Structure 1
C-alpha cells in the first residue's frame, strides 16, 4: 500500500511540474468565475472542432495519476415521448423549445443500483464527473444544470431540485472569446483534492482556461454508492437559436458533441465502491443574486388596456381571467422541505436557479373555445434572456401542447394596442380550438381537438385529458445578474379564456 501511495504521489508531482513548465497553463476558477464572453458576433461565429485531442490527453493524464474512468452517454431525453411509452409517470411540464440533453453514466461495480438507470447516478465521495466537448451554437440561452432526484420517474412521486447555479452562456469558461461553439470542460465533485487533481489534468490536456467547476457539497448531500446515498441528474438546456442558427442547433441536439466520464482514484481493493481518498469536503458554493431593482410594474396601465382591448375584440364570447402564480418552489427551500412533485402538485420539479416558471391553475378549454395569453415580453424589458408561454395537456400527464417564445411573440400586442408606445414590450397570443369563428391571423396557434389522441404521434394510446390545460410562463436568466429575474420585478403573465356565449 505504501509503494502504491508513493507511486501516486510521484505521478501527481510530475504532473504539477509539467503544468508549471507548460506555457499559459492555469487552474480552473470556480463556476461562478468570469465568463469567457456573454454573446457571439453572428458573422464571426465559427465552431471549433471536437475535443478528441484533449480527451485523449486527459485519459493519458488519468492513467499517469492512477485514476480510472468509465465513459457515459449523451442524448436528448424527451419527457413527452417517455410519458407516452409508459416510461414516466408524468411528462412533468417539459419545455418543448428546450429539450433536455442528459448525461448518462454507467454504475460502479458493486454499487447500489440507480432507481432511474442511465439517467440518474450516485457519486463516490472522491469521484468526479467530467464533461468535455463543444458548447452549443448561438442561442438565446443555454445552461448546464446539476440536479438531485429522489424517487422514481417511472412511478412517482419525486423530489427533483437543482444542486446549485447552472453554468450558462453568461458564466461558462471556454477556449475562446465567445461562449458559443467553443471547447470546454466541466467538473462535478464534492471532494477538494479530487477537484484539484482533475483540474490539473484538464489543464495539462489543454483546457485549463476552459474548465468549469460544479460542487456537490457533502454539507447538503449524501455522497456514496450505497442505497441511502443521493442520486443526481446532469443535463443541458438549449433554448431558441439566434437568427441563422436553427440548423446548427438541430444538429447539435441530434448528435451532441459532448463526452462524459466518471473518474476516480484507483485503489488496490477490488471493491470500487470504497473511497481511496479521505473526506475533503467542498463547501456549499455562493449563489448568484437575482434582481437589479428595476421592474416591469410601470407597464401595468398598458397591460390593463391590453386586457380590455382583447375582451372587446370578441363580444360573442364570455371571458374568464387567469393569472400565473408561483407554483414551483426554489430548489434550496424545496430540498429542505422535501417538496414532492406529483402533478397536479408542482413541488420544485427541476426548476433551474436561472429561471422563474410561474404557472396557472388547471382550466378547461372545450372545442369552440380559445385562450389569449398576454403580458410583458420579459426579454424586451431586459428582465430575461429567454422567455416563453407554453400550454400543457392533462392534469396528471402534464405534456406540452404548444409554445411560443420571446422572438415569435415580439410585436404581437400591436394587434390590440397599435396606438401605444410601449406595445412592443408586451405580447398577446391566441391558442384556439374555435376554428375560423375564433381569432385568426399570424399570432394564433391552432390547438388539436379536445378529443384528440395526444400519444398517437408517439405510437401509443396512453390517455391524456386534452380538455384540461395549464400554462407555464418561463423567464430565464436576467442579463445583468446572470441568474433568474426576481419574481417581484415581473408583471405576471395572464390569460383570458373565451367560451362562446350561446
Structure 2
C-alpha cells in the first residue's frame, strides 16, 4: 500500500513538473506562432510582409564612435528602443545609415529612418516594457525636403501611446489596469482602409481588437511616398525608471517584440486619416502659489554660499512642440507631447538644420557667454526649483548636465534623487517638501547628500573643465490629463553658477 501511495505521489510530481515545463514551452511556442500566424494572415489578406528589428538607439555610443557628430540632447534617464524597418521593396539603405545600423548591431537592410507609402504601414507586435515610472511609443518625422534643401526636423507628429492610454491585454481598449509586460499591437499608417485590413488580419491570428492601437501619419501635414523628396519617419519606445533595473536592461537589449513593414500587393483606393484629436494639456491648477516659497529658498541658497560669486542663469523653454517645428521647417530635436522641456538659455531653438547636424555649429547662445565648471572646490552649480512630481504636475521629472557643443547628457538627476532636499534650507517651511535643491560640482563632500560629481577626462561620458555646458529639465506626463503638463501651469526650474570671488 505504501509503495502504491509512493507511486501516486511520484506520478503527481512528475505530471506537475513536466506539465509546467510543457506549459512554458507551449507559451513560448505560442508567442512565436502568434507572430507567424499574424504574418500569414497579413499575406492572405494580400500584403507583402517584411520583418524588421527593435534595438537600443545609443546616441552616446554613436557619438563616441564618431558615427554621429552629436548626442542631440540624449535623456540619460532613458534608453530609447528604435524601430529598425526594412527598406521598401526594390530600395536599398543609404550607406551612412547602413554604417549606423551595423554599429548598433542591426541588420544592414533595416533602417531607423524610413519612408512609407500612403498605403503602407509599420506595425509593432509584442510586449510592452516591464513595470516602470513611464513608457510611451512615439512616431516622428525625421527628414523633409524644402525647396532644394534636405532638412532634419526630428519632430513628433502627434500624441504618444503611453502607459496611461495604451490598449493591451492588461488594459483592454485603454481601460485602467496593468499596462506593463503585456501584449499589444501598434499600427503606424496614413490610411484608414489599410488600418482596418491589418486589424482584421490580427484578429484572425488571435489578437483581440481591444489590444490594437493606431498611430496616424496625417497626410495633411506629411509627404508620404517612396521618392527621394518624401518625408522620412522614425518610431521609438521610450521607457523610464524601471522598478527592476535588470528586467529593464533585458527588455532594452532583447525586446520581446517584432516590427513588420506591410505593403499591399495591389493598388488600393486611398482613405487617408485626418489629423488625430490630441489630448489637452492643462488642468487650470498651477504651481504659482509656491512662488513665495521658491523666493525664500533662493535667498537661503544665496546666503549659504555668500562667500562665492553668484550668477543666476536664465531659464527658457528648450524645444518647440512638434507641430510648430514641422510648420516652420526647423529642427525640433525630438520633443514629445508628454513632456515639458526647459534649459539654462534665454531662447528656444528655432534653427533649420541639415540631417545629422553638428550641434557645435549651431545654437551659439548656449556657449556665449560660456558656462563652465572648473576644478576649484568653490566653483559649482546649484539647481533648484519646484518638484513637479510632488505637486502632481508630472509622473517623473529630471534634470541633466550637457556639454553645450555635442549635447552629451552625462547624468540625469531625477525627482527620486532630489526629493526632500529643500528641507535643509527651509526647515520651518511646510512647503519645502514641494521644492528641491541639488549641487553639481567636481568634488562633493561626504556630508553633501544632494550632490553629483561631474566627471571629466572620460570623453563623451563627462564634461571637461573648460567645456561650455548647460542644464536641461524634463517634466513628464500629468496623470490627470494623460499628457504633458502645460508650460503655463508650471514654475520654471532654475540654476545658479557659483565661482570663487576674485
Q: TM-score range by the shorter chain?
A: 0.7 to 0.9
Cα distance change, pair 456–478 in 1 and its aligned pair in 2 (3 A):
closer
**1:133 & 1:367 partners in 2: Cα distance?**
48
Residue 448 (structure 1) shift = 1.6
Q: 1:162 aligns with which of 144, 156, 163?
A: 156
Asked if 1 retains the 8 angstrom alpha-carbon contact of 2:126 and 2:257, the reply is yes
- Pick one of 437, 446, 451 that aligns with 1:444: 451
The answer for the alignment partner of 1:239 in structure 2 is 240
Which digits, 9 at most, give the CA deviation of each residue in 1:423-466, with x for residues without a partner? Answer: 11111111102554xx95211101124xx242489xxxxx9786
CA contact (8 A) 1:323 1:492 kept: no
Q: Which residue of 2 aligns with 1:147?
A: 140
Shift of 1:178: 1.1
Measured after TM superposition, the shift of residue 212 of structure 1 is: 0.5
Question: Would the aligned equivalents of 1:371 and 1:498 in 2 still touch at CA under 8 Å?
Answer: yes
Cα deviation 1:464-493 (Å, max 9, x = unaligned): 786311111101111001111000111100
- The answer to whether the aligner puts 1:109 opposite 2:114 as a matched pair is no
How far residue 151 of structure 1 moved from its aligned partner, in angstroms, is 6.7
Counterpart-to-counterpart distance in 2, 1:285 and 1:184:
20
CA contact (8 A) 1:113 1:227 kept: no
Structure 1 residue aligned with 2:390, among 377, 380, 383? 380
Relative distance call for 1:477 and 1:51 in structure 2 (3 A) is: farther
Is the contact between residue 112 and residue 226 of structure 1 (CA under 8 Å) also seen in structure 2?
no
Would you say the 8 A contact 1:148–1:160 is kept in 2?
A: yes
User: 2:423: which partner in 1?
Assistant: 414
Q: What is the aligned partner in structure 1 of residue 480 from structure 2?
A: 480
- Per-residue Cα deviation, 1:116-174 (whole angstroms, up to 9, x for no partner): 4521001011111110111111111101000011179xxx9722110110000001000
1:173 aligns with 2:167: yes
- Equivalent runs, 1:262-411 vs 2, <5 Å: 262-267=261-266, 276-340=267-331, 348-361=332-345, 362=366, 363-368=371-376, 369-393=379-403, 395-411=404-420
| Cα distance in structure 2, aligned partners of 1:209 and 1:173 | 6
Cα 1:157–1:411 change in 2 (3 A) is farther
Could you say which residue in structure 1 is the equivalent of 2:66? 86
Distance (Å, rounded) in 2 between the aligned partners of 1:456 and 1:136:
26
Contact 2:372 2:465 in 1 (8 A): no
In 2, the alpha carbon distance for the partners of 1:157 and 1:82 equals 21
Kept in 2: contact 1:379–1:406 (CA 8 A)? yes
SS in 2 for 1:239: strand
Q: Helix, strand or coil for the counterpart of 2:400?
A: strand
Q: Is the 8 A contact 1:51 1:134 kept in 2?
A: no
Query: How far did residue 213 of structure 1 move?
Result: 0.3
- Per the TM alignment, residue 95 of structure 1 is displaced from its structure 2 partner at its CA by 0.2
Matched position secondary structure for 1:56: helix
Residues 501 and 157 of structure 1, relative CA distance in 2, 3 Å threshold: farther
SS in structure 2 of the partner of residue 366 of structure 1: coil
Give the conservation status (yes or no) of the 8 Å contact 1:366–1:467. no
Q: CA deviation at 1:55?
A: 0.9
TM-score normalised according to structure 1 size:
0.81
Alignment of 1:9-48 (within 5 A): none
Match for residue 361 of structure 2?
none
Q: Displacement, 1:327?
A: 2.1
Distance 2:323 2:248 in 1: 32
Q: What is aligned with 2:252?
A: 253
- Aligned residues of 1:111 and 1:226 also touching (Cα < 8 A): no
CA distance in 2, matches of 1:397, 1:385: 29
How many residue pairs match? The answer is 426
Q: Which of 30, 42, 54 is 2:34 aligned to?
A: 54
User: Could you tell me the TM-score, scaled by structure 2's length?
Assistant: 0.81
Is the CA contact 1:51–1:183 (under 8 Å) kept in the aligned structure 2? no
Report if aligned partners of 2:151, 2:329 keep a CA contact under 8 Å in 1.
Answer: no
Separation in structure 1 between the aligned mates of residue 204 and residue 220 of structure 2, nearest angstrom: 31
Q: CA-atom RMSD, angstroms?
A: 2.2
- Helix, strand or coil for the counterpart of 1:357? strand
> Paired residue for 1:273?
none
Contact 1:224–1:230 (Cα < 8 Å) also in 2: yes
